[in-house]
Amino acid sequence: MNLEIGIAGWILSGEILREKTLTLLEFPKVCASYGVKTVELCSAFFAGQDARYLNELRKALEDNGLSVRNIAVDMGNIAGADPAVRRTDLEALKQWFYAASALKSAAIRVNTGHAEDEGAMGRVIEGYGELVKVGEQAGVKLLIENHGGVSSTSGNLARILKALDTPGFATCPDTGNFPEGDWEAGMRALAPRAFSCHVKVFSYSADGRQSWKGRDGQTREYDLRRSLATLKEAGYRGPLCLESGASGNARDNIRDGIAYLKELTAKV
């Protein structure tokens, strides 16, 4: 398996959002220093969406020889039951297609959001359907990720994908986000329409087995090598965007995580 390895912006979220020692305009230079050609951006990193800022960011990306595969948009709740709030969220989400187009990003990822009532799934499908049309006009794909809420389980993901069988709607599987015991079914559901992929690394094990403690204190596991094999079997040709590593700090995580993925993919 010989896939390009890129950097998912969230791996540097600590420096950008918490420590504030790095800005999005500086992010491309850091990524280029690791020899990658593809990155994913995060909406939370943007200082704005005005033309001047987007032009500065586009130039920084171009100057460092980088292309943007996807912008992970972390706002809005298209599952929400309040129609007025949901409408505001949808209209705000639509603006990201045009920001992506300005930056030559091939896609944006929008989450399903959370809701507990029986109508949540219908609202998610309806909301994605509305957003896909805007994406098609802008020439930007819409991606769904297994990212909590309605998108938590393989069954829900499969149902959404079946309802929206269009080239403008694709997936961004995250290898480490599935509930315990659901990662194999989840990867099988998402891999056939994958356009990008988040790879979470928790150890540099030779066999690809990953194990870590979740926020609830429970040990979770998945097989990264098997996840990559599932992508290969589905004909995936997109990049593997590294989102976490096992070295202790972000910069070392990038360096060691890229080296690990190169070694692991060579075995798949």
Kindly report, residue by residue over 123-132, the tens digit of the pLDDT: 999 999 999 9
CA distance 241 to 198: 5
The residues near 74 (Cβ < 8 Å, ≥ 6 apart) are 42, 43, 44, 111
Dihedral in degrees, nearest 10, Cα atoms 121, 179, 90, 88: 100
Supply angle C-alpha 30, 35, 40, rounded to 5.
60
What mean pLDDT is predicted for residues 55-72? 98
SS3 content of the chain, % helix, strand, coil (to 5): 45, 20, 35
- List the strands of the sheet with 107-110, edge to edge: 169-171, 141-144, 107-110, 67-73, 38-42, 5-8, 240-244, 198-200
What mean pLDDT is predicted for residues 189-197? 98
CA distance 232 to 197: 12
pLDDT of residue 215: 80
Q: Which CATH superfamily is domain 5-265 in?
A: Divalent-metal-dependent TIM barrel enzymes (3.20.20.150)
pLDDT of residue 35: 98
CA distance 268 to 265: 5
The partner residues of 156 in beta bridges, in order of sequence, read none
Q: Express each pLDDT in 134-180 by its tens digit.
A: 999 999 999 999 999 999 999 999 999 999 999 999 999 999 999 99
The residues near 121 (Cβ < 8 Å, ≥ 6 apart) are 79, 150, 156, 159, 160
Instruction: Answer whether residue 214 shows pLDDT above 90.
Output: no
* Inter-CA distances, 194 with 55, 65, 241, Å: 29, 24, 12
Length of the chain in residues, anyone?
268
Binned at pLDDT 50, 70 and 90, residue 62 comes out as very high
**Percent of the chain having pLDDT more than 90?**
95
Binned at pLDDT 50, 70 and 90, residue 218 comes out as confident
| pTM given for the model | 0.97
Instruction: Answer whether residue 217 shows pLDDT above 90.
Output: no
Binned at pLDDT 50, 70 and 90, residue 181 comes out as very high
Q: Pairing relation of β-strands 240-244 and 38-42? A: unpaired
* Inter-CA distances, 228 with 57, 139, 202, 240, 254, Å: 32, 28, 15, 9, 19
- For the chain, what are the domain ranges? 5-265
Instruction: Answer whether residue 216 shows pLDDT above 90.
Output: no
Instruction: Answer whether residue 133 shows pLDDT above 90.
Output: yes
What mean pLDDT is predicted for residues 36-43? 98
Output the six-digit token pair for 81: 């039951």
Closest to 101 (Cα-Cα) out of 64, 127, 136:
136
The SS3 assignment for 68 reads strand
Supply angle C-alpha 49, 50, 55, rounded to 5.
95
Instruction: Answer whether residue 60 shows pLDDT above 90.
Output: yes
Instruction: Answer whether residue 52 shows pLDDT above 90.
Output: yes
**Percent of the chain having pLDDT more than 70?**
100
